[in-house]
């Protein structure tokens, strides 16, 4: 009798900011569609079980922008389960029309082997983020009930200050999330997007990893700035014993 694999891999991408027009460029002349194509091609060799997209898929709220993501996933990563959650730029209604129910944050938690992935919706007002208490209540319940599983939490907004201009675009009730997380057992990591940069911080010894954007990167400075770092993805490896590893790859 064959045993289950001892680990699986998640490719996290974020902040694609796709336009309906695939030839349109944004900051620094960067084309979001071309960059996302290159990032998807880059992560193929990691053979991810899941392709996790942590928000801001669209820049212009167009149906076409979401279809572009679907097309590229099918082209480069047809065997990877797609999981999407919204960012402040996204249209939640359109997402629910375009993506299959099992691909949406609403289907959380996603179960893979002895792991559970919990996706939160932090869309609130403008660029601000908020996770409603009822979502946090559900998260607590799901983690507590599945006390024999290992848990990974995904959200768009950053739960810890970036100490940069991006903190003006904050998760307004992040402290409520932090307080609850500090009491939960079995959570192995939190991953997020929004800040267009790769960072590692900690909440009560739980690693909190941010993901580079698949388009332009922000400088984590006091004043607004675009970094010259290239686009990328975060590769997360989840082991059956509950250990978790992560690193960033760039085009």
Which pLDDT score is estimated for 41?
A: 98
- d(CA 62, CA 21) in angstroms, rounded, equals 10
Which pLDDT score is estimated for 107?
A: 78
Q: Which of 246, 211, 197, 233 is nearest to 35 (CA)?
A: 233
Do 126 and 24 form a contact (C-beta atoms < 8 A)? no
- d(CA 70, CA 113) in angstroms, rounded, equals 25
Residue 125: count other Cβ atoms within 10 Å of its Cβ: 9
3-state SS, residue 154: strand
Do 62 and 20 form a contact (C-beta atoms < 8 A)? yes
Q: Which residues contact 250 (CB under 8 A, 6 or more apart)?
A: 42, 212, 229, 230, 231, 232
Which pLDDT score is estimated for 93?
A: 97
Assigned CATH for 7-250 = 3.60.21.10
Using H for helix, E for strand and C for coil, what is the string for 118-150? EECCCECCCCCECCCHHHHHHHHHHHHHCCCCE
Listed as ranges, residues in the chain with pLDDT below 70 are 1-4
- d(CA 144, CA 100) in angstroms, rounded, equals 28
pTM: 0.96
Which pLDDT score is estimated for 114?
A: 96
Look up residue 128 and give its two tokens: 């601000």
Which pLDDT score is estimated for 1?
A: 41
């Amino acid at each position: 009798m064959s045993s289950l694999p001892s680990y699986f891999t998640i490719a996290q991408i974020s902040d694609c900011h796709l336009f309906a027009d695939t030839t349109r460029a944004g900051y620094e002349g960067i084309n979001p569609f071309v960059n996302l194509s290159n990032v998807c091609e880059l992560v193929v060799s990691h053979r991810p079980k899941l392709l996790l997209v942590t928000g801001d898929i669209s820049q212009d709220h167009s149906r076409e922008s979401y279809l572009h993501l679907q097309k590229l996933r099918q082209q480069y990563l047809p065997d990877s389960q797609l999981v999407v959650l919204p960012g402040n730029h996204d249209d939640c209604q359109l997402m629910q029309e375009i993506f299959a129910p099992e691909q949406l944050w609403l289907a959380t938690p996603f179960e893979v082997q002895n792991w559970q992935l919990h996706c939160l919706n932090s869309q609130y007002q403008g660029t601000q983020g908020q996770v409603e208490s009822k979502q946090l209540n559900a998260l607590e319940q799901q983690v507590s009930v599945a006390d024999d599983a290992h848990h990974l939490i995904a959200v768009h907004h950053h739960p810890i200050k970036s100490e940069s201009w991006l903190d003006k675009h904050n998760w307004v009730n992040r402290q409520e999330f932090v307080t609850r997380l500090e009491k939960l057992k079995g959570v192995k990591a939190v991953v997020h997007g929004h800040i267009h940069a790769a960072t590692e911080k900690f909440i009560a010894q739980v690693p909190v990893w941010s993901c580079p954007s698949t388009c332009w990167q922000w400088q984590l400075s006091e004043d607004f700035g675009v970094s010259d770092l290239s686009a990328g993805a975060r590769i997360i490896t989840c082991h059956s014993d509950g250990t978790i590893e992560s690193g960033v790859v760039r085009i």
